[in-house]
């Protein structure tokens, strides 16, 4: 593909310094628009240059790089020394030309296929996210996992990985005992089929309305009635032993719920390649236990449980329980089985789990067990943890279902807006995404309806608004050509700021990919939108000469495509009208 302006600089740098281009590629960064005191566009850290074997070039590096500026047709106009960095000021015409050329010929891979990101290409990434539980509450953490996991999957995909999206449903465990026992006591197949509307305004759970009633009632009764608790244990035991009738009921619960979830994921523009779940892997746990046993890693305790010693000294100062005293498996047992099965089935190169931080220890233990079993690939398993979302509740009480959040947003928004329902969903999602995405993932965040529903400010709506405005500008001038051969009208400070900012896109993607944090991308897109807004204000197309109009349209079209690509990675579908 076309070589960008950075590639050009790298080429020249490598040449004058007598080093390979690869050395320089990761060392060059764009000077952030906000930090500009000098007119420099790019910089190289001297320390990193030295660390990377440019020592030989050492002392006279400065004079060598200086030579760049003296070449004829040089991309570099001036080389200067900053604090610990060598600064390069680029020829703005070449900058504009190269960038716009690249953006015009390959708008969809701009940034993502750059030299800087080359090493990330290829390989298979499994991202497991959302993963709600079937007979338990859907909490805000599941929403956050859905949003973050979707972002990570999109990002990896954009960077050239083959991505497998897995939803690991909590579809096994004692909670099913409770639901099953409850259903056998006071559930009704009739209601399960019809889901009458009169139940709509009762407390809703993660399952269908009819199941919700059972869920609420059985949980209430289990609290004060021992016999309900033992019935639940009994039902779960029947499940564990593959008893037909119990399994049939379980299957029914699961199906109803998964269908419901699929509808909502679709509403949010999120999809999964695989719905798996604890139940499926439950059937593989015996195999895992056999392997552990044969490796001498499984120890039976006095209490009758089976554990894996995770302590360094082998003194059981830390361990994980894999089998309960009644012989049933646990959450972690199923996770070990699931990881092994996935590795075999999908042959992933890396696997990413996205959950709230309360599960950090669980995943540490899981990785530890896999490591102990001798699976080297565990090194490329990552748990992306995020903080808890506090205070997400609706007028009817605590959030129990994702749809409640959407409905609440809709009803609150309808007070001051009239929009079609899909637009509202998207809007709502964007707002969640952006409120969520600007901080570090690990910090807890307080959910704030007012902030989510704010029409102004730095939210996803602003991105959407900017995108729609650019689209309408480009639509209005659709008859004029956007291919700009003459970029000379783009050397004013506003155009240059936009171009300089675009130069940073691949670095921002790299940072997001390295840290698996969306905020770098969010902040980049917000800044891009601000720069675009002021450019749009100050650089009219209408009324300008043909050459100026064409160059500006070309710039706006470039901004639009980067904005759209970035938004899609975040999980926001850009709209063309608003």
Q: Taking the complex as a whole, how short is the minimal distance between the CB of residue 134 and ligand ARG, in angstroms?
A: 9
The catalytic position among 113, 136, 431, 477 is 136
459 DSSP assignment: S
- Name which position in 4, 111, 149, 170 contacts ligand ARG (CB under 6 A): 170
Q: Tell me whether residue 95 or residue 322 sits nearer to ligand ARG (CB atom).
A: 322
Window contacting ligand ARG (CB under 6 A); options: 64-72, 125-133, 238-246, 457-465? 125-133
Q: Taking the complex as a whole, how short is the minimal distance between the CB of residue 176 and ligand ARG, in angstroms?
A: 13
Contact (Cβ atoms closer than 8 angstroms) between residue 351 and residue 376:
no
421-437 helix and 140-158 helix, angle to the nearest 10 degrees: 90
Cα separation, 359 vs 379, in Å, equals 18
Q: Tell me whether residue 345 or residue 451 sits nearer to ligand ARG (CB atom).
A: 345
Q: Taking the complex as a whole, how short is the minimal distance between the CB of residue 380 and ligand ARG, in angstroms?
A: 16
- Dihedral angle of Cα 130, 382, 274, 122, to the nearest 10 degrees: 130
Q: Which tokens in the block code for residue 456?
A: 């102004």
Is 565 an interacting residue with respect to ligand ARG (CB under 6 A)?
Answer: no
Is 355 an interacting residue with respect to ligand ARG (CB under 6 A)?
Answer: yes
Q: Taking the complex as a whole, how short is the minimal distance between the CB of residue 275 and ligand ARG, in angstroms?
A: 12
Q: Is 113 a catalytic residue?
A: no
Q: Is 142 a catalytic residue?
A: yes
Cα separation, 143 vs 424, in Å, equals 17
Q: Taking the complex as a whole, how short is the minimal distance between the CB of residue 241 and ligand ARG, in angstroms?
A: 23
Q: Taking the complex as a whole, how short is the minimal distance between the CB of residue 282 and ligand ARG, in angstroms?
A: 13
Pairing of strands 124-128, 85-90: unpaired
> Taking CB under 6 A as the rule, which mask of x and - marks residues 527-556 in contact with ligand ARG?
------------------------------
Cα separation, 469 vs 578, in Å, equals 8
- Which of 147, 149, 145, 146 is closest to 157 using CA atoms? 149
Residue 163 pairs in a beta bridge with 125
- Name which position in 88, 110, 168, 401 contacts ligand ARG (CB under 6 A): 168
CA-based end-to-end distance of the chain: 34
Is 506 an interacting residue with respect to ligand ARG (CB under 6 A)?
Answer: no
Cα separation, 88 vs 502, in Å, equals 16
Q: Tell me whether residue 171 or residue 221 sits nearer to ligand ARG (CB atom).
A: 171
Q: Taking the complex as a whole, how short is the minimal distance between the CB of residue 135 and ligand ARG, in angstroms?
A: 11
67 conformational bin, left if phi > 0, alpha if psi -120 to 50, beta if neither: alpha
Q: Tell me whether residue 133 or residue 435 sits nearer to ligand ARG (CB atom).
A: 133
- Name which position in 97, 131, 146, 365 contacts ligand ARG (CB under 6 A): 131
3-state helix, strand and coil shares in percent for the chain, rounded to the nearest 5: 55, 10, 30
The catalytic position among 92, 98, 142, 281 is 142
Q: Taking the complex as a whole, how short is the minimal distance between the CB of residue 201 and ligand ARG, in angstroms?
A: 26
φ, ψ of residue 79 to 5 degrees: the values are -115, 130
Is 386 an interacting residue with respect to ligand ARG (CB under 6 A)?
Answer: no
Contact (Cβ atoms closer than 8 angstroms) between residue 110 and residue 562:
yes
CA distances to 299, 408, 410, 426 from 449, in Å: 50, 9, 11, 16
Q: Tell me whether residue 310 or residue 541 sits nearer to ligand ARG (CB atom).
A: 310
User: Alpha-carbon torsion 385, 399, 181, 229, what sign?
Assistant: positive
- Name which position in 353, 367, 386, 462 contacts ligand ARG (CB under 6 A): 353
- Name which position in 91, 97, 102, 133 contacts ligand ARG (CB under 6 A): 133
**Residue nearest ligand ARG by beta-carbon distance:** 170
Window contacting ligand ARG (CB under 6 A); options: 44-52, 130-138, 146-154, 476-484? 130-138
Q: Which tokens in the block code for residue 201?
A: 């305004």
Q: Tell me whether residue 365 or residue 466 sits nearer to ligand ARG (CB atom).
A: 365
Q: Is 139 a catalytic residue?
A: yes
Q: Tell me whether residue 67 or residue 385 sits nearer to ligand ARG (CB atom).
A: 385
Cα separation, 203 vs 214, in Å, equals 11
Tracing tokens 């969903």 back to the chain, one arrives at: 425
Burial of 315 (0-12, 13-18, 19+ CB in 10 A): exposed
Is 365 an interacting residue with respect to ligand ARG (CB under 6 A)?
Answer: no
# residues contacting ligand ARG (CB under 6 A): 9
Q: Tell me whether residue 124 or residue 137 sits nearer to ligand ARG (CB atom).
A: 137
Q: Tell me whether residue 6 or residue 323 sits nearer to ligand ARG (CB atom).
A: 323
Q: Taking the complex as a whole, how short is the minimal distance between the CB of residue 273 and ligand ARG, in angstroms?
A: 16
Window contacting ligand ARG (CB under 6 A); options: 49-57, 82-90, 99-107, 127-135? 127-135
The catalytic position among 139, 156, 482, 520 is 139
Cα separation, 240 vs 211, in Å, equals 21
Window contacting ligand ARG (CB under 6 A); options: 29-37, 131-139, 322-330, 561-569? 131-139
Cα separation, 217 vs 203, in Å, equals 10
Q: Tell me whether residue 131 or residue 328 sits nearer to ligand ARG (CB atom).
A: 131
Window contacting ligand ARG (CB under 6 A); options: 15-23, 124-132, 441-449, 516-524? 124-132
User: Alpha-carbon torsion 513, 515, 517, 521, what sign?
Assistant: negative
Q: Which tokens in the block code for residue 445?
A: 């965040």
Q: Taking the complex as a whole, how short is the minimal distance between the CB of residue 139 and ligand ARG, in angstroms?
A: 8
Contact (Cβ atoms closer than 8 angstroms) between residue 278 and residue 171:
yes
Q: Taking the complex as a whole, how short is the minimal distance between the CB of residue 334 and ligand ARG, in angstroms?
A: 8
Is 272 an interacting residue with respect to ligand ARG (CB under 6 A)?
Answer: no
Residue 341 burial (CB count, 10 A): 16
Tracing tokens 């050459």 back to the chain, one arrives at: 547
Q: Which tokens in the block code for residue 212?
A: 């919700």
Catalog residues that contact ligand ARG under the rule CB under 6 A. 128, 131-133, 168, 170, 335, 353, 355
Residues with a known catalytic role? 136, 139, 142
């Amino acid at each position: 593909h076309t070589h960008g302006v950075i590639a050009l600089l790298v080429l020249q740098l490598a040449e004058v310094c007598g080093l390979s281009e690869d050395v320089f590629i990761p060392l060059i960064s764009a000077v952030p628009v906000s930090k500009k005191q000098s007119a420099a566009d790019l910089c190289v850290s001297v320390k990193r240059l030295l660390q990377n074997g440019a020592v030989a070039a050492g002392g006279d590096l400065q004079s060598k790089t200086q030579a760049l500026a003296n070449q004829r047709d040089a991309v570099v106009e001036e080389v200067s020394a900053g604090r610990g960095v060598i600064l390069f000021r680029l020829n703005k015409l070449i900058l504009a030309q190269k960038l716009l050329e690249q953006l015009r010929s390959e708008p969809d891979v701009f940034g993502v296929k750059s030299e800087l990101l080359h090493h990330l290409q290829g390989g298979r990434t499994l991202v497991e996210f959302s993963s709600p539980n079937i007979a338990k509450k859907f909490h805000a953490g599941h929403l956050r996992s859905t949003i973050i996991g979707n972002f990570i999957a999109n990002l990896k995909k954009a960077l050239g990985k083959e991505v497998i999206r897995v939803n690991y449903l909590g579809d096994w465990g004692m909670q099913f005992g409770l639901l099953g026992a409850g259903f056998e006591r006071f559930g009704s197949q009739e209601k399960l089929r019809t889901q009458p509307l009169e139940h709509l305004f009762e407390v809703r759970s993660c399952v269908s309305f009819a199941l919700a009633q059972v869920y609420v009632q059985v949980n209430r009764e289990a609290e004060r009635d021992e016999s309900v608790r033992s019935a639940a244990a009994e039902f779960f035991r029947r499940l564990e032993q593959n008893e037909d009738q119990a399994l049939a009921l379980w299957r029914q619960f699961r199906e109803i719920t998964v269908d419901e979830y699929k509808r909502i994921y679709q509403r949010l523009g999120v999809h999964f390649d695989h719905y798996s779940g604890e139940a499926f892997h439950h059937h593989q746990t015996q195999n895992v236990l056999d392997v552990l046993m044969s490796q001498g890693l499984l120890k039976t305790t006095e209490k009758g449980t089976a554990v894996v010693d995770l302590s360094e000294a082998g003194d059981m100062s830390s361990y994980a329980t894999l089998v309960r005293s009644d012989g049933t498996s646990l959450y972690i047992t199923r996770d070990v089985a699931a990881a092994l099965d996935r590795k075999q089935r999908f042959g992933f190169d890396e696997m990413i789990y996205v959950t709230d931080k309360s599960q950090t220890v669980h995943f540490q233990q899981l990785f530890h067990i896999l490591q102990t079993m001798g699976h080297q690939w565990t090194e490329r398993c990552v748990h992306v943890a995020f903080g808890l979302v506090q205070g997400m509740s609706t007028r009817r009480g605590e959030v129990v279902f994702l749809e409640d959040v959407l409905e609440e947003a809709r009803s609150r928004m309808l007070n001051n807006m009239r929009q079609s329902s899909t637009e509202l969903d998207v809007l709502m999602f964007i707002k969640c995404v952006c409120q969520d995405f600007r901080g570090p993932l690990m910090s807890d965040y307080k959910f704030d309806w007012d902030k989510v529903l704010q029409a102004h400010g730095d939210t996803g709506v602003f991105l959407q608004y900017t995108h729609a405005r650019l689209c309408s500008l480009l639509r209005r001038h659709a008859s004029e050509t956007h291919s700009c051969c003459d970029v000379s009208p783009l050397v004013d400070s506003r155009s240059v700021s936009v171009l300089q900012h675009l130069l940073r896109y691949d670095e921002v993607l790299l940072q997001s990919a390295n840290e698996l944090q969306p905020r770098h991308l969010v902040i980049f897109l917000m800044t891009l939108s601000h720069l675009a807004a002021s450019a749009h204000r100050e650089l009219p197309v209408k009324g300008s000469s043909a050459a100026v109009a064409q160059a500006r349209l070309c710039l706006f079209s470039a901004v639009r495509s980067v904005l759209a690509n970035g938004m899609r990675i975040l999980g926001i579908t850009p709209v063309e009208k608003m």
